[in-house]
Structure 1
Amino acid sequence: MTRRFCATVHLYDDLARDVDRELTGDGLKAIGLTLGINFVAVARHARAAVRRRQALDRQLVALGMLFIASLLLALWSLLGGDGSLVMVAVYGPAGVFAASWILVRHAEGRARDAAQEVYRGAEKPETLAPPVEQGTEARLIELKRANVLPYADETAFANPFVGSGKRLQEREVIWGPIDVSEPAEGPGGTKLTITDFDAIDLHTYVARQMESISGLDGLRTRNRLYVLGSNAYMLPELVPDRTRRPAAHVPKQLVQAGLQQPGAGMRTHLCLERVGEGGRIIVSMYLRAILAGPSLSWEVAVYAVPPLEARFQTVDHLPVARGDRWWSLFKYATTRTWSELWGASGRMSERSRWRHDNERTLRKLRRKIKNQHVVVDQGAVTSLRERHGDWGQATYAERMDALDFLVRLQQGVLTATERFLKDHNVDTSSFDSAQKIITQNYHVNNVNGPSIFGAGGTINQNNNPQGGGPQGGQGGGGTPSPPATP
């Protein structure tokens, strides 16, 4: 997926510009999760694409001025009757257009070559483009092991797990409560002694056992602290400098505190992440164990990020045969040169205006933060991967994979919880009763309409749910039963 992202930024100027601004630009907000993408590689290629476009625009602006000058010269020579300048005036605009055509064709050829090299080459993508600023790369590298994420205040009412895609469950669910105060029976009917445990112990156990229990090879697990964006400043380790972006990693003691003593918009969740084939889909489960008095409950949420939108497939269809490539570039330059020539000055002005406005806005905010102690929402709104996802690109197999991951994760958590309680000599009769309710009351949410999942965990085909499934109307979510086999 990193290769595809790096290749595509070379082919679409607006994508390269937006990625460069988000990953390497100055700002106060946190950057969303990487979700399997090498941000350093993407940032390097986006910067290379942006610089290539800037160089082309500068050249085209100069040619545009020369084009206007040649037209004025032609008009002056015709009105003044100066025959010695007529030939220059007549062929000048044509020559400028020809030079512009060559520049546009050459720039597009370089962009396609760069895209092909990074996508089909054997070298690591980050080695195929010049580095960006050292401090920026260090910050992007730290995002790979992020154990904290501030989320924007505007997302707090719906989904604090910003950038994780579409919720697969119909609603937020709580599994439980499960009585964990009764000891299990030992040999001869004697009561065993319950081994003390806390929420951290349960999270740790599930994180270590889930891959083998669920059968999902490559399952990524991490405890992550989620913090309301406007409260991020309350943790100096997260925001050592309130005029800069938040850090991506904090001491584990803070992560544990967010589980044992949640509050002030700070809660720790166990994040289970499974990437589908080729990185096209990503299913994430977020768990939080709630131990209150004699009972245990699980807060459960499951989200999925769809495949990348259609334009990320462009690199697969670039012509590579010499004749086809020549003709494709010829058509591209012929149809685009005029608009490229006269749009160059506008693009340069837009970049300059955005840079000036962004710097001015940040300067004002930083002055208010320092002088007036203004609190700023520093939470992320989304992720780069989520922003460019499209469920319309998901195949039947990928939708089925997402459902399979969901079923395995749900069942895996229940199995791991049962084993944990037994290992700690807790009577599981309450858990058994809760599990029956959980598995009977479960709904899977439609992802972007009726074409993905239907009720009961079934897959919709042609907007008609196939197969059956339990559809209880009370209690929390649970593990869906697989569709019936004809």
Structure 2
Amino acid sequence: MPQYRKDGVTRRLCASVHLDDEFAQVVDGELTGDRLDAIGLTLGVNFVALARHARVAVRRRAALDRQLAGLCAASAVSLAVGLWGLASGHGSVAQVGIYGPLGVLAAAWLLVHHAQSRARAAAHEVFRTSPEKSENLAPPVEPEAEAWLHDLKRANVLPYADEAAREKPFVGSGTVLRKVAVWQPIDVSKPAEAPGGGKLTMRPFDAVDLHTYVARQMESIAGLDGLRARNRLYVLGSHAYLLPDLVPDRTRRPRAQIPKQLVQAGLQNPGAAMRTHLCLERIGEGGRIIVSMYLRAILNRPSLTWEVATYAIPPLGARFYRVNQLPLAPFDHWWSLVRYATSHTWPELRGAPGRIRGRGRWQRKRTKYLKKWRRDITNQHLVYDYGAPDSLRERISDWEQAGHNERSDAADFLNRLQQGVLTATERFLEDHHVDTSSFDKAQQIINTQTYNINNVNGPSNIGNNNQINHPNAPQGNGPSGPGGGTPPKP
């Protein structure tokens, strides 16, 4: 049967930056711009590819605006010359004031048509036709920015914004499917019965051993191919500077990877607003939906328990499906471009100087903001919040695009993850010769818990019938509804 592309979401977003100038500007600023704070996790999106295509789109937009602004200036000069000729009685010169603006308008039409044609060709290539990896279809951006984005794919640390500390430290993970819960404690102080009678000698273990075992075994135990499991240290943004390996330079953005010893320390001996969680992430077909479970083993002998939180990110918003509507037949494609150029030439021409000034003002404001903070950090030792407030993938998602298939997949993933953690824990205890009678009692209580949010901390939830419920979401399989959320600010 036909299958979704594994990089389908990446290709759709790369196509969208070519078709949506505002989104391209936002992505370029967020992924490659100068900053002090962290950005959210990639979550199934190839940020390197997206950054490259966004840069191409931004440069194309800037070049078009410069050309159109030049035509505006030429039109103004032509009009002034024509008025002078009319006032001085030079008829041939006055004609310049009549035909000059018409020539400028015709040139602008050609420029708008050409730019849109290039944008659609790039979107069509990356989304539909090219078998090449999407990141190979655009030139690289700055090496430093690409290296940081590559590290972000395997991030083992994430500073989260202070404003998220109260409710949602797992920033960018989507809708809360269940608030943070602590499972029933398990007594791990008693040795298991030996086959021939007596007691077995318990093998010593710590929380790091349990995390490592669950991370390695979960994919096969839960039956979730492609499950991503990684220990990750979550750090409160205003405390990130306390880790020199995370923020070696307080005037630069934090790193995405730190030594694994620090990640382990965050589990064994949690520090000031620093805790390590086992992050389990399962991406659905084509990346349309992402379900995450965050675990932390709490081993305070004689008891063991799990801190558990679950989240889901729905499909992309409707605005990112425009690439599906691009006409492909030769005549339809030609006519669509003609209509686009005809309807957009005057607004594009008139607004070009304003857009150039607006980008310049934004850049100056951003530079001034960063300069002030860097000066205050250096001279006054002020504490900066380096935490990420969310993720790009979360921000552009929309539950109205989630059909029956995505909802049932999410329910299946969550059930498998919960049961997989329980099974892996039981096997781990058995391997370490721990009596599991207490675990059996705890498991009965844990299995009665359901993922039911009742509209708290987000509009979506999973009910007792293993179905994700959303009071306003459509029940069909296909994308529908208005488009996809507010784009991120650069």
- Which band: TM-score by shorter chain? over 0.9
Q: Given the alignment of the two structures, is residue 356 of structure 1 paired with residue 364 of structure 2, yes or no?
A: yes
Give runs of aligned pairs for residues 123-134 of structure 1, distance below 5 A. 123-134=132-143
- In the TM superposition, residue 454 of structure 1 has moved relative to its aligned partner by 3.2
Does the residue aligned with 1:163 lie in a helix, a strand or coil?
Answer: coil
Q: Are 2:296 and 2:308, in contact at CA under 8 Å, matched by a contact in 1?
A: yes
* Correspondence for 1:97: 105
* Correspondence for 2:206: 198
CA distance in 2 between partners of 1:279 and 1:458 (Å): 19
CA distance in 2 between partners of 1:414 and 1:351 (Å): 53
Give runs of aligned pairs for residues 214-363 of structure 1, distance below 5 A. 214-363=222-371
Amino acid at match of 2:228: R
Q: Are 2:184 and 2:445, in contact at CA under 8 Å, matched by a contact in 1?
A: no
Q: Given the alignment of the two structures, is residue 43 of structure 1 paired with residue 28 of structure 2, yes or no?
A: no
Aligned residues: 464
Q: Given the alignment of the two structures, is residue 163 of structure 1 paired with residue 172 of structure 2, yes or no?
A: yes
Name which of structure 1's ranges 334-343 and 453-462 shifts more when overlaid on structure 2: 453-462
CA distance in 1 between partners of 2:376 and 2:76 (Å): 47
**Alpha-carbon deviations, 1:160-188, whole Å to 9, x = none?**
1111111111x221112111111111124
- In the TM superposition, residue 445 of structure 1 has moved relative to its aligned partner by 2.7
> Which of residues 125, 128, 132 in structure 2 aligns to 1:117?
125
> Which of residues 426, 429, 438 in structure 2 aligns to 1:421?
429
> Which of residues 382, 389, 393 in structure 2 aligns to 1:374?
382
* Correspondence for 1:88: 96
Q: Given the alignment of the two structures, is residue 144 of structure 1 paired with residue 144 of structure 2, yes or no?
A: no
Amino acid at match of 1:13: D
- In the TM superposition, residue 37 of structure 1 has moved relative to its aligned partner by 1.4
Q: Are 1:445 and 1:455, in contact at CA under 8 Å, matched by a contact in 2?
A: no
CA distance in 1 between partners of 2:321 and 2:21 (Å): 16
* Correspondence for 1:445: 453
Amino acid at match of 2:166: F
- In the TM superposition, residue 461 of structure 1 has moved relative to its aligned partner by 8.6
Amino acid at match of 1:142: D
CA distance in 2 between partners of 1:56 and 1:463 (Å): 41
- In the TM superposition, residue 203 of structure 1 has moved relative to its aligned partner by 0.5
**Alpha-carbon deviations, 1:215-267, whole Å to 9, x = none?**
00010110000000011011111111110010110111000000000120100
Q: Are 2:177 and 2:461, in contact at CA under 8 Å, matched by a contact in 1?
A: no
CA distance in 1 between partners of 2:451 and 2:42 (Å): 29
- The TM-score with structure 1 as length reference comes to 0.92
Aligned in 2, Cα 1:54/1:461: closer, same or farther, shift over 3 Å?
Answer: closer
Q: Are 1:147 and 1:223, in contact at CA under 8 Å, matched by a contact in 2?
A: yes
CA RMSD of aligned residues (A): 1.8
Amino acid at match of 2:463: G
- The TM-score with structure 2 as length reference comes to 0.92
Name which of structure 1's ranges 282-291 and 306-315 shifts more when overlaid on structure 2: 306-315
Amino acid at match of 1:157: R
Q: Are 1:74 and 1:90, in contact at CA under 8 Å, matched by a contact in 2?
A: yes
- In the TM superposition, residue 434 of structure 1 has moved relative to its aligned partner by 1.0
Give runs of aligned pairs for residues 384-463 of structure 1, distance below 5 A. 384-445=392-453, 453-455=462-464, 457-460=466-469
- In the TM superposition, residue 74 of structure 1 has moved relative to its aligned partner by 3.3
Q: Are 2:400 and 2:472, in contact at CA under 8 Å, matched by a contact in 1?
A: no
CA distance in 2 between partners of 1:463 and 1:369 (Å): 46
- In the TM superposition, residue 92 of structure 1 has moved relative to its aligned partner by 1.1
Q: Are 1:71 and 1:89, in contact at CA under 8 Å, matched by a contact in 2?
A: yes
CA distance in 1 between partners of 2:376 and 2:470 (Å): 55
- In the TM superposition, residue 460 of structure 1 has moved relative to its aligned partner by 4.3
Q: Are 1:444 and 1:457, in contact at CA under 8 Å, matched by a contact in 2?
A: no
Aligned in 2, Cα 1:186/1:458: closer, same or farther, shift over 3 Å?
Answer: same
Amino acid at match of 2:55: R
Does the residue aligned with 1:273 lie in a helix, a strand or coil?
Answer: strand
Q: Are 2:237 and 2:386, in contact at CA under 8 Å, matched by a contact in 1?
A: yes
- In the TM superposition, residue 80 of structure 1 has moved relative to its aligned partner by 3.2
Q: Are 1:181 and 1:426, in contact at CA under 8 Å, matched by a contact in 2?
A: yes
- In the TM superposition, residue 446 of structure 1 has moved relative to its aligned partner by 5.6
Name which of structure 1's ranges 441-450 and 122-131 shifts more when overlaid on structure 2: 441-450
Does the residue aligned with 2:418 lie in a helix, a strand or coil?
Answer: helix
> Which of residues 55, 64, 83 in structure 2 aligns to 1:56?
64
CA distance in 2 between partners of 1:381 and 1:91 (Å): 54
**Alpha-carbon deviations, 1:281-332, whole Å to 9, x = none?**
1111100000012000100001111111112111122111111111101111
Amino acid at match of 2:378: K
Amino acid at match of 1:198: D
* Correspondence for 2:116: 108
